[in-house]
Structure formats: C-alpha cells, structure tokens
Amino acid sequence: MPVVDELDSEIIRLLQTDARQSNRELARRLGVAPSTCLERVRALTRRGVIRGYHADIAPAALNRSVQALVSVQVRPLSRAVIDTFKDSANALPEVLSVFVLAGGDDFLLHVAVQDLDHLHAFLLDRLSKRREIAGFRTSVIFQQEHDTAPSRLPSPTSAE
C-alpha cells in the first residue's frame, strides 16, 4: 500500500474525528479546494486506505451488554480449516470481530451477548460442538475503551 503524504494524513485525521463532515467543510479545514479534497478522499478510498464509514453503536443499546474475548485453537491447522472457521465465526450474530493469530491461539473472537447465560450458551452450543476446535478460553470484558485518535497514528515522515 502506498505511503500517504501530509495532506492525506490530515484528511484521515479529520475524517477519524468526524466522518460525517461535508466535503466542503473538510476542504475548508484543510485549506484546499473542494475538488482537490474530493479527489484525495476518492483516491484514498480506491487505494484501500479508507475502508469505509460506520456508526459506532453501543452494544448495550442493542441488548448486548456482555462482551468477551474468546481465544480459540483449531486442529488440524491448515488453510482450509482456518478459512472455514473464520467464515463461520464471522457469520455468527454474537461475533463482532474475528482475529486470525500467530502463537498459542489461532483465533480471537470478540463477542457481545445479552447476559452471562447467553455467553455460556454461545460457548457450549456454538463453539464446543465444532469438531475443529481443540480448545478455547474466555475472558469477560468489564470495560472497553475504543480510540482511533489520529494523534496515535505515526506521521508519514516519521522514522520509527
């Protein structure tokens, strides 16, 4: 993926702060013409730098106030097993995110459910019955902080 320049970095920073701002407002804040801004945003999207825009919804508002991280080991460890499990886990309504890992665990699932009884049922009815799962461990999340603060992104000119 090509490196972004300073203007692209500033566009990313401003969109992470407020993705709902208009192109005209974004251009004004950047000090560039609206056509320049629009073309830069489109180019960032075409290149896959900007992958989309979304609403950040509180899970509790959807009656999914219990969240957990589930570490999963699958066997036999093969591309077919990994791809099949990844696709099936992504299709489960309780699963918010699927991470494919290296190390002791093969997957990390971020799940959200109504309550602890539903978490227990998810683990027993959805995971433990799968033949390819060699084991799993669950950690309940008490608090979550989600920060996409642009200030945490390295500058394109910094050498870290």
State pLDDT tens for residues 136-154.
999 999 998 876 655 455 5
Confidence of residue 156 (pLDDT cuts 50, 70, 90): low
Judging by DSSP bridges, how do beta strands 107-113 and 95-100 pair with one another?
Answer: antiparallel
Average pLDDT along the chain: 91
Asked if 75 and 102 sit in the same domain, the reply is yes
Residue 1 domain-assigned? no
CA distances from 115 to 9, 66, 88, 120, 128 (A): 40, 5, 22, 9, 19
In a domain, 27, yes or no: yes
Same domain, 136 and 69: yes
Q: What's the first-to-final CA gap in the chain, in angstroms?
A: 18
Contact assessment for residue 84 and residue 132, using Cβ atoms and an 8 Å cutoff? yes
pLDDT score recorded for residue 14: 94
Instruction: List, for residues 14-62, the tens digit of each pLDDT value.
Output: 999 899 999 999 999 999 999 999 999 999 999 999 999 988 888 889 9
Confidence (pLDDT) at 152: 52
Do 72 and 35 lie in one domain? The reply is no
Position 159 pLDDT exceeds 50: no
- Report pLDDT for 23: 97
CA dist., res. 123 & res. 129, Å (int): 9
Instruction: Please indicate, yes or no, whether residues 127 and 86 belong to a single structural domain of this protein.
Output: yes
Structure tokens at 31: 């000090």
CB atoms near residue 141 (< 10 Å): 13
The domain containing residue 43 runs over which residues? 6-54
